[in-house]
Amino acid sequence: MVEKLSQVLHGIAASPGIAIGKVYLMEDDDFALVQREITKDETKKEIIRFKEALAKTRADMLATQEKILKTLGKEYARLGSAYLLILEDPLITRDVAKKISEGVNAEYALYRIIENVVRSFEMIDDEYFRERKHDIQDVGKKILSHLLGKEKRSLAGMAAQSIVVAHNLTPADTIQMRENLVRGFATDIGGRTSHTAIVAQSLEIPAVVGLKNATAQMRDGDTIIIDGNQGLVLLNPPPEMIENYKREREIQLAQVRELEKLRDLPAQTLDGHRVMIVANIENPDEIKSVLNHGAEGVGLYRTEFLYFNRTTLPTEEEHYENYRRVAQKMLPYSVIIRTMDIGGDKLAHFDLEGFAEEKNPFMGLRAIRFCLKYPEVFKTQLRGILRASADGKIKIMYPMISGVAELKAANKILNAVKEDLRREGKPFDEKIEVGSMIEVPSAAVTADLIARECDFLSIGTNDLIQYTLAVDRINENVAQMYEPLHLSILRLLKTIIDAGHNAGKWVGMCGEMAGDPSFIKVLLGMGLDEFSVAAVQIPKIKKITRSLTMLEAKELVSDIFSSDDNESIADKIKKHEFKITKK
């Protein structure tokens, strides 16, 4: 027997953790079919056959949506809703039938229409929406399977603990993971914003996506290791590598168990300085994880999910119910709700007047700019937030504020909504706090003025770094230049924190920098009051905070600002990290 060679495949880390096991391969049929010409008499039969396949696919999707609702909750059921919306789109229901009428078989007509739609999605710059092309392909394959009378291999057939390897996984596939013996999974396509990544994170299953051709290189029963921390998949690794990863997994699990002991302890330095460690969330179903990891509140509730995968704008009641649910579950802690942070180009399908295609949506009509242009959409969300504030401790935060004028304009609309609710006799927190995100350089250098007009500041480092350094962090040609430790960034952060404190306001941070263990000591030394991070990062941030003194942190910051290049800054931070680990 010829010994199988080991390989290392590089992909995208979609969900952290290490999984070791045998491959359960879900092979994907090529979505390419031979054209068959049909007569006029056959056309009617082909259209009927296509409509029957649509009906069967719809029934499958409704069953999947119901299962998602029962297993993961209402918010994740939107994953199934997205597929139903695609299925009902005229591009499929109308255009495929029209193509059949031109004299081709149903399978080929479906293939051509799906191919055209996917090609148009590939032209979109935004990663989230570009990823939706895979959803369209999945819907096409579901219809095709009914046309051909074929069934895709299901996770239900899994007999032993395995690692799933597939070209892509649909919500119908991933929902079975909780019910079966899935240790981890790897896919050819997908990114951090794909449905499979979202579900994997919610179920805490190690996953790597975007491997390109993993399915072509693997067979059922192959041994693989999923390294969801680094985005690696090791195919048929040698025994010593398996043992190394087993030890690493045990170390990580032991670290998790040790960190769990800190859950109910405060984030307080050795010399008594207290900071707040709170969580970033995207939907109400994350609250259980937030509380389990010891968060002291929600520092960033991203509300964009309410606007995705639908054809109508969310109603006031939808806003209210979602925010009320989170606020009540988080009591006695507070929840900071960020108003919508999406570009107008993402909302064009809601039939709002005055849209034009934007060549650079990241600097276009997005976030607070969109809200000020369309105040009625903004008011609907603000009414929902304010009403929910009567049932919990809620704060409001505006994204993408570029200066005092925008902040005042937003507050003017907020005050008008408050007055409307008073007239209607609807209760809300009259003392609700309002904060501004500082994520644009213009806001950073005028943070002292902005701080006077709000109750708190929250630094969004992801965009602040990107805009300040003129670096697109998802552009592989310049991504290495995205440097949080750039002296200009560190100076801006110190300026923002000092500006807030001088105005008597607290300052938090909700960007990725706040959750990176390498930067905690620096941010503490600068005086940051609140760290808002992913729930799983909270115990580690607490441990670091409780392992040092404010005096040490301030000394590090002073040392850093005496540097004049990034390399020496990084060296100084590493030396201080070493001190912490040795204590």
Q: Just list the catalytic residues.
A: 195, 510
Element (H, E) at 304: none
Q: At what angle do helices 106-121 and 40-71 cross, to 10 degrees?
A: 60
DSSP conformation class of 219: -
Question: Closest Cα to residue 471, out of 566, 564, 462?
Answer: 462
Residues in the chain, total:
583
Integer Cα distance of 105 and 268 in angstroms = 69
Task: Give the whole-angstrom CA distance, residue 347 versus residue 469.
Answer: 29
* Under 8 Å between Cβ of 267 and 275: yes
Handedness of CA 276, 507, 431, 289 (dihedral sign): negative
Cα gap 172→63, rounded to integer Å = 9
Torsion over CA: 304, 310, 316, 317 (sign): negative
Sequence-distant (≥ 6) Cβ neighbours of residue 323 within 8 angstroms: 301, 335, 337, 384, 385, 388, 394
- Per-residue DSSP letters for 483-527? -TT-HHHHHHHHHHHHHHHHTT-EEEE-SGGGG-GGGHHHHHHHT
**Sheet with 223-227, edge to edge strand ranges:** 7-10, 232-235, 223-227, 18-26, 162-166, 182-187, 207-209, 12-15
Phi, psi of 311 (to 5 degrees): -110, -5
Distance CA 174, CA 298 (A): 27
Task: Pick the closest to residue 286 from 205, 184, 201 (CA basis).
Answer: 201
Q: For residue 63, what are its two tokens?
A: 């069953």
Paired residues of 23 in beta bridges: 163
